[in-house]
Chains A and B, each alone.
Chain A
Amino acid sequence: MSVPDPTAPVVPATRVRRSRGQTVGAAAAVLAALAVGHVVVSAFPVDDRVSAPFVRPTVVGETVELRYARLTAGEPTGSTVVSPVASSLLSTPGVFLTVPLTIVASGQPRLISFAELLGGDGRTYTVFTSGRSSFLAGTAQPGVPRYATVSVEVPPEALPGAHLRIGLNQEDQRADDLADIDLGITQADADAWAADDTPVPVPPRSDEPPEQP
Chain B
Amino acid sequence: MGVAVAHAVGAPTLAPVSGPAAPPDLRARARASGSLVARRALDQPLRRIGIGGALVLLAATAAFGGLREQTQDGPEVLVVDAPVDVAPFELTVHRVVWTTELPGQYLSDDGNRWVGVVATVRNTTDAGVLGHTLRDALTLTDVDGLVQEPRTLVPGVAASSIAVLADGSSLSPVQPGLTYEAAFLFEQDGSVAPPTSATVLVQRQRWGTGILDPTVSWREPTTTLRGELDVREARSDADAEGGS
A and B, direct touch (CB closer than 8 Å) = yes
Among the 9-residue stretches B46-54, B144-152, B163-171, B190-198, the one with 4 or more Cβ atoms under 8 Å from chain A is: B163-171
- Cβ of A111 within 8 Å of any chain B Cβ, yes or no, is no
Taking the closest CB of chain B, its distance from the CB of A89, in whole angstroms, is: 5
- Cβ of A133 within 8 Å of any chain B Cβ, yes or no, is yes
Complex interface residues of chain B between 160 and 185 (CB less than 8 A to chain A): 164, 166-173, 175-180
- Whether the pair B168, A11 counts as a contact (CB closer than 8 A) is no
Complex CA distance for A127 and B219, rounded to whole angstroms: 20
Among the 9-residue stretches B4-12, B69-77, B221-229, the one with 4 or more Cβ atoms under 8 Å from chain A is: B4-12
Tell me which of B4, B178, B244 contacts A92 (CB under 8 A).
Answer: B178
Once A9-B28, A126-B127 are accepted as A-B contacts, the answer to whether A90 and B167 lie under 8 Å apart by CB is: yes
Closest to A126 in B: B128
A109 neighbours in B (Cβ, 8 Å): none
Taking the closest CB of chain A, its distance from the CB of B234, in whole angstroms, is: 21
- Cβ of B131 within 8 Å of any chain A Cβ, yes or no, is yes
Complex CA distance for A151 and B79, rounded to whole angstroms: 36
- Cβ of B36 within 8 Å of any chain A Cβ, yes or no, is no
- Cβ of A2 within 8 Å of any chain B Cβ, yes or no, is yes
Once A88-B168, A124-B127 are accepted as A-B contacts, the answer to whether A155 and B177 lie under 8 Å apart by CB is: yes
- Cβ of A57 within 8 Å of any chain B Cβ, yes or no, is no
A interface size (C-beta, 8 A) = 34
Closest to B32 in A: A11
Closest to B177 in A: A155
Taking the closest CB of chain A, its distance from the CB of B33, in whole angstroms, is: 11
Complex interface residues of chain A between 117 and 135 (CB less than 8 A to chain B): 119, 121-128, 131-133
Tell me which of B2, B126, B127 contacts A5 (CB under 8 A).
Answer: B2
- Cβ of B14 within 8 Å of any chain A Cβ, yes or no, is no
Interface of A is mostly: loop
State which size class the interface on B falls in: 20 to 34
Closest to B172 in A: A131
User: 0/1 per residue, B78-100, Cβ < 8 Å to A?
Assistant: 00000000000000000000000
Complex CA distance for A88 and B166, rounded to whole angstroms: 12
Specify which of A5, A90, A94, A126 lies most central, judged by the most chain B CB atoms within 10 Å of its CB: A126
- Cβ of B130 within 8 Å of any chain A Cβ, yes or no, is yes
Q: When A and B form their complex, what is the total count of cross-chain residue pairs whose Cβ atoms lie within 8 Å?
A: 96
- Whether the pair B173, A131 counts as a contact (CB closer than 8 A) is yes
Tell me which of A4, A87, A92, A122 contacts B126 (CB under 8 A).
Answer: A122
Complex CA distance for A132 and B3, rounded to whole angstroms: 86
- Whether the pair B167, A124 counts as a contact (CB closer than 8 A) is no
B167 neighbours in A (Cβ, 8 Å): 88-91
B3 neighbours in A (Cβ, 8 Å): 5, 8
- Cβ of A191 within 8 Å of any chain B Cβ, yes or no, is no
Closest to B181 in A: A93
- Whether the pair B129, A126 counts as a contact (CB closer than 8 A) is yes
- Whether the pair A154, B175 counts as a contact (CB closer than 8 A) is yes
- Whether the pair A125, B175 counts as a contact (CB closer than 8 A) is yes
Closest to B131 in A: A131
Complex CA distance for A108 and B175, rounded to whole angstroms: 34
B29 neighbours in A (Cβ, 8 Å): 11
B5 neighbours in A (Cβ, 8 Å): 5, 7-8
Once A2-B2, A88-B167, A132-B171 are accepted as A-B contacts, the answer to whether A157 and B128 lie under 8 Å apart by CB is: no
- Cβ of B243 within 8 Å of any chain A Cβ, yes or no, is yes
A73 neighbours in B (Cβ, 8 Å): none
A155 neighbours in B (Cβ, 8 Å): 175-178
Instruction: Show 8 residue pairs from A and B whose CB-CB distance is below 8 angstroms, ordered by the A residue.
Output: A2-B2, A8-B2, A8-B28, A94-B178, A124-B126, A124-B127, A125-B128, A157-B177
Residues of A near any B CB (own CB < 8 A): 2, 4-5, 7-11, 87-94, 119, 121-128, 131-133, 152-155, 157-158
Residues of B near any A CB (own CB < 8 A): 1-5, 10-11, 25, 28-29, 104, 126-131, 164, 166-173, 175-180, 243-244
Given A5-B4, A132-B171: 5 more A-B contacts, CB < 8 Å: A2-B2, A8-B3, A8-B4, A88-B168, A131-B170
Which 9 residue pairs are nearest across A and B when measured between Cβ atoms?
A: A126-B128, A4-B2, A155-B177, A9-B25, A124-B127, A131-B172, A126-B173, A123-B126, A8-B2
